[in-house]
Amino acid sequence: MAHAFAIETEGLSKALGGRPIVREVGLAVPRGSVFGFLGPNGAGKTTVMRLLVGLLKPDAGNIRLLGSDLAENRKALMGRIGAFIETPGLYENLSGRENLKLACRLRGIDTADISRVLGIVAMEGAADRRVRSYSLGMKQRLALARALLGNPALLLLDEPTNGLDPEGIMAMRELIRDLPQRIDATVFLSSHLLGEVEEVVDSIALLREGKLIAQGKLSALGSTSARLKITVDRAPDALALLLAHGLRVEPGSAANDLCVTYDRYAENIDPAEINRRLVSAGIGVSALAQERLGLEHLYREVMGPRPAMEGEAA
Ligand SMILES: Nc1ncnc2c1ncn2[C@@H]1O[C@H](COP(=O)(O)OP(=O)(O)OP(=O)(O)O)[C@@H](O)[C@H]1O
């Protein structure tokens, strides 16, 4: 049956140790998307993942995966979902291939699928070595291969680049970016690092303190804020003039620069009109550039300032 969403939750809530950890989360993950589930450490991302694969039972709310209710169809659904949550959980004394064979046996998957998934994660060459000798990046790739066994329609990846070195992060990122072309699946991916997912996902949800605070297509979410950078010959006069017109304007990084920040959808800001106003007040305008503020800006706005590091001034 066709369904628009690979994951849909409604009022999903869970308390752990007497503390509410997941609070009325309503996720809507479009089918076929690469979806980034973002939030700072401790926001509750792993707990949501564990609820989605049935490792935890919700206190309240519903979960629909691939169009079916998880509580009613858990067994059938688990055969269509690949997941990699928290640690890779591999047998160190077995080779990569043996780990995959074992996973096939446990899940009733034909072992003929092993060469396909090894090919996707580019691990054919190392498949017969013991996992003990693998780098963390290789272990993560093998864990991804295991999640891909049986050609799942939904793939849940919890912080797949956690603990990897920059090279490992790059390799995993490229792998995830290419997944939609290689497999016909929805990919739901959690991370606490925005920069890490920004290039690979098409939609995101932001979680803070167990609550969903934004959700939608990256293009829509990331591009609503915009900035107009203006270079003038009399910055203080220009600043006063634009403030008097009710614009959100502040001095820019250089002495002759001003920055106007606005919402592209909510506010109708016309750069040509601003230029005319400045020029007719006798202010020379030498440059006027419009730039969209990326997801980084939204993330900071929604998530609040980055907490000060140890030894850093507050
Ligand atoms: N079994 C548990 N009992 C009590 N509290 C728990 C339990 N499991 C998790 N928590 C708490 O729930 C909160 C959310 O944890 P969770 O691991 O879901 O966050 P996260 O967003 O995945 O963070 P991280 O990126 O650090 O993994 C944390 O404050 C954690 O200490």
Q: Choose one of 13, 16, 23 to mutate for the ligand 1 pocket test, by most ligand atoms within 8 angstroms of C-beta.
A: 16
Using CA atoms, how far apart are residues 188 and 232, in angstroms rounded to an integer? 46
Q: Give kind and range of the element (H or E) at residue 171.
A: helix 166-182
At residue 88, does pLDDT exceed 70?
no
**pLDDT category of residue 87 using cuts at 50, 70 and 90:** low
Q: What is the C-alpha separation between 282 and 37, in angstroms, rounded?
A: 50
- Pick from 65, 85, 244: which is nearest to 160 by CA? 85
Atom of ligand 1 nearest to the CA of 17: 4
Burial of 266 by CB count in 10 Å (0-12 exposed, 13-18 middle, 19+ buried)?
exposed
Does the pTM exceed 0.80?
A: no
Secondary structure class of 142 (helix, strand, coil) = helix
- Contact 161 CB / ligand 1 (< 6 Å): no
154: confidence class by pLDDT, cuts 50, 70, 90: very high
> Which amino acid is it at 197?
V
Q: Ligand 1 pocket, 231 CB below 6 A?
A: no
Token pair belonging to 301: 């706005």
Ligand 1 neighbourhood includes 192 CB (under 6 angstroms)? yes
**CA–CA distance, 126 with 173 (Å, rounded to integer):** 20
Ligand 1 centroid, distance to 21 Cα (angstroms)? 7
115 CA to centre of ligand 1 in angstroms: 36
Protein residue with its CA nearest to atom 24 in ligand 1: 41
Residue where the block lists tokens 């989360």: 25
Q: Is 44 in the pocket of ligand 1 (CB under 6 A)?
A: yes
Residue 136 has pLDDT above 90, yes or no: no
- % pLDDT > 90, the chain: 58
Query: Domains along the chain?
Result: 5-217 (3.40.50.300), 224-293 (3.30.70.270)
Average pLDDT score over the chain: 88
Inform me whether the pLDDT recorded for 21 exceeds 90.
yes
Instruction: Output the six-digit token pair for 125.
Output: 């060459």
Per-residue pLDDT for 63 more than 90?
Answer: yes
At 204, give phi and psi (nearest 5°).
-140, 160
- Which atom of ligand 1 is least distant from the CA of 44? 18
Q: Identify the weakest region by mean pLDDT among 17-21, 85-89, 177-181, 267-271.
A: 85-89
Q: What is the ipTM of this complex?
A: 0.93
Q: Measured in angstroms, how far is the CA atom of residue 116 from the centroid of ligand 1?
A: 34
Q: For residue 213, give every residue at least 6 positions away whose Cβ sits within 8 Å of its Cβ, in sequence order, or none.
A: 206, 207, 302
Task: Find out whether 205 and 211 touch, Cβ atoms under 8 Å.
Answer: no
